[in-house]
C-alpha cells in the first residue's frame, strides 16, 4: 500500500485534511496535469506563494490522489464531484483515500482510536497521541525530533476533526459515528474492485477507519441490500456481496442518480 522507503512520513503536519483544496484540484486536475500544474494550481487555490502551492500539490495531492492506494484515486472522487454529491457523503470518501495513503494516520485510527472509542471516555489528547507516534516510529527504526512528532500529531488530529472522526477545538473527543449509506456503499464498491469480496470485504480493516466492527458492517450491508444498493447474503460466516453493475460511473448513477 505504501511506496516510501520510510514506513512513516511527516507530510500531514503541513496542513491536515486540506479538504477544500483537494476538492478544487480534483475537479480541475485534467486541465492542470503537466509541467505548468504548480503555477496553475496557485491561481486556483489562491495561495500567497508558489512554494505553498507546490507543497499542497507535491506533499498532499500527489501522494494521496495520484500515487496512493488505489492509484489515481482522484478519479474515484471526481465521479462524485461531477454529480454534485453532498459534502456529508463526499467527506468520508476523501477521508478513506487520505488514510490509505498515510500509514501512520491509518494505524492511529484502526489501532488506537478504535480502542479509545470503545473505552467509554472518548477523549483524545495531543500528549498521548505524540507518545503513540514516538513509539510507532521507534519500532520502525525511524527517529523524529519531539517538535516534528508534535506537529505530526497535531496535523493528524486536525485532519481527523476536519473529516468528522473527531470533534472539538483544543480538547478533542471522538465524534458520534455516522457513515452515510451512499458513502458506505461507494467505498464497499471500490474495495470489491480492489479484490476484496465476501468475508474479506465485511472484515476489511478499512472499516476501522470509521470505527466500525464487522457486525456493524454486516448490519449496514443488510440495510443497503434492503435499499437495493447491493446484493447481500450471509449464511453463518459465509458472505456474498454483489453490486448491480461493475462500472464505477454506472454505480455512481445508482447511488446518486
Q: Is 247 exposed, middle or buried (0-12, 13-18, 19+ CB in 10 A)?
A: exposed
Q: Identify the pLDDT of residue 196.
A: 97
Q: Which of 2-11, 182-191, 224-233, 241-250 has the lowest mean pLDDT?
A: 2-11
Q: Model confidence at 37, in pLDDT bands (50, 70, 90)? A: low
Same domain? 9 vs 105:
yes
Condensed to tens digits (0 to 9), the pLDDT of residues 64-86 reads: 999 999 999 999 999 999 999 99
CATH code of residue 199:
1.10.10
Same domain? 70 vs 171:
yes
Task: Choose one of 176, 191, 223: the last residue of a domain.
Answer: 176
Same domain? 90 vs 133:
yes
Condensed to tens digits (0 to 9), the pLDDT of residues 20-32 reads: 999 999 998 887 6
| Beta-strand runs (E) in 39-174 | 123-124, 166-167, 172-174
Q: Model confidence at 137, in pLDDT bands (50, 70, 90)? A: very high
Same domain? 144 vs 195:
no
Q: Model confidence at 91, in pLDDT bands (50, 70, 90)? A: very high
Same domain? 249 vs 127:
no
Length in residues, the chain: 257
Q: Model confidence at 120, in pLDDT bands (50, 70, 90)? A: confident
Q: How far is CA 126 from CA 9, 22, 103, 115, 170, in A?
A: 18, 25, 18, 16, 9
Q: Model confidence at 55, in pLDDT bands (50, 70, 90)? A: confident
Grid coordinates standing for 64? 494521496
Same domain? 105 vs 166:
yes
Q: Model confidence at 138, in pLDDT bands (50, 70, 90)? A: very high
Same domain? 93 vs 155:
yes
Compute the average pLDDT of residues 6-11: 87
Task: Choose one of 123, 157, 176: the last residue of a domain.
Answer: 176
CA distance 86 to 84: 6
The total domain count for the chain is 2
Q: Identify the pLDDT of residue 3.
A: 40
Q: Identify the pLDDT of residue 38.
A: 61
Task: Choose one of 176, 200, 219: the last residue of a domain.
Answer: 176
Same domain? 142 vs 17:
yes
Same domain? 138 vs 213:
no
Grid coordinates standing for 256? 446518486
Q: What range defines the domain where residue 135 resides?
A: 1-176
Same domain? 58 vs 23:
yes
pLDDT at 1 over 50: no
- The dihedral of CA 30, 27, 189, 187: what is its sign? positive
pTM of the model: 0.92
Same domain? 27 vs 64:
yes
CATH code of residue 151:
1.10.3540.10
Same domain? 192 vs 223:
yes
Amino acid at each position: 500500500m505504501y511506496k516510501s522507503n520510510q514506513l512513516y512520513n511527516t507530510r500531514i503536519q503541513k496542513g491536515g485534511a486540506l479538504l477544500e483544496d483537494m476538492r478544487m484540484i480534483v475537479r480541475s486536475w485534467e486541465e492542470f496535469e503537466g509541467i505548468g500544474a504548480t503555477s496553475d494550481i496557485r491561481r486556483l487555490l489562491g495561495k500567497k506563494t508558489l512554494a505553498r502551492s507546490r507543497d499542497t500539490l507535491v506533499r498532499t495531492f500527489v501522494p494521496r490522489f495520484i500515487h496512493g492506494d488505489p492509484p489515481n484515486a482522484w478519479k474515484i472522487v471526481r465521479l462524485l464531484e461531477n454529480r454534485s454529491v453532498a459534502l456529508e457523503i463526499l467527506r468520508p470518501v476523501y477521508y478513506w483515500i487520505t488514510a490509505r495513503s498515510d500509514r501512520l494516520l491509518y494505524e492511529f485510527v484502526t489501532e488506537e482510536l478504535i480502542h479509545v472509542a470503545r473505552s467509554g471516555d472518548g477523549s483524545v489528547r495531543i500528549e498521548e497521541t505524540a507518545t503513540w507516534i514516538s513509539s510507532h516510529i521507534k519500532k520502525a527504526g525511524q527517529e523524529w525530533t519531539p517538535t516534528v512528532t508534535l506537529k505530526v500529531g497535531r496535523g493528524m488530529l486536525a485532519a481527523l476533526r476536519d473529516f468528522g472522526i473527531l470533534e472539538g477545538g483544543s480538547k478533542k473527543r471522538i465524534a458520534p459515528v455516522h457513515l452515510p449509506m451512499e458513502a458506505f456503499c461507494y467505498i464497499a464498491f471500490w474495495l470489491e474492485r480492489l479484490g476484496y469480496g465476501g468475508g474479506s470485504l465485511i472484515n476489511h480493516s478499512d472499516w476501522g477507519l470509521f470505527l466500525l466492527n464487522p457486525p456493524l458492517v454486516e448490519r449496514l450491508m443488510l440495510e443497503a441490500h434492503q435499499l437495493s444498493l447491493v446484493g447481500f447474503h450471509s449464511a453463518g460466516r459465509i458472505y456474498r456481496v454483489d453490486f448491480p453493475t461493475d462500472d464505477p460511473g454506472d454505480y455512481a448513477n445508482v447511488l446518486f442518480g
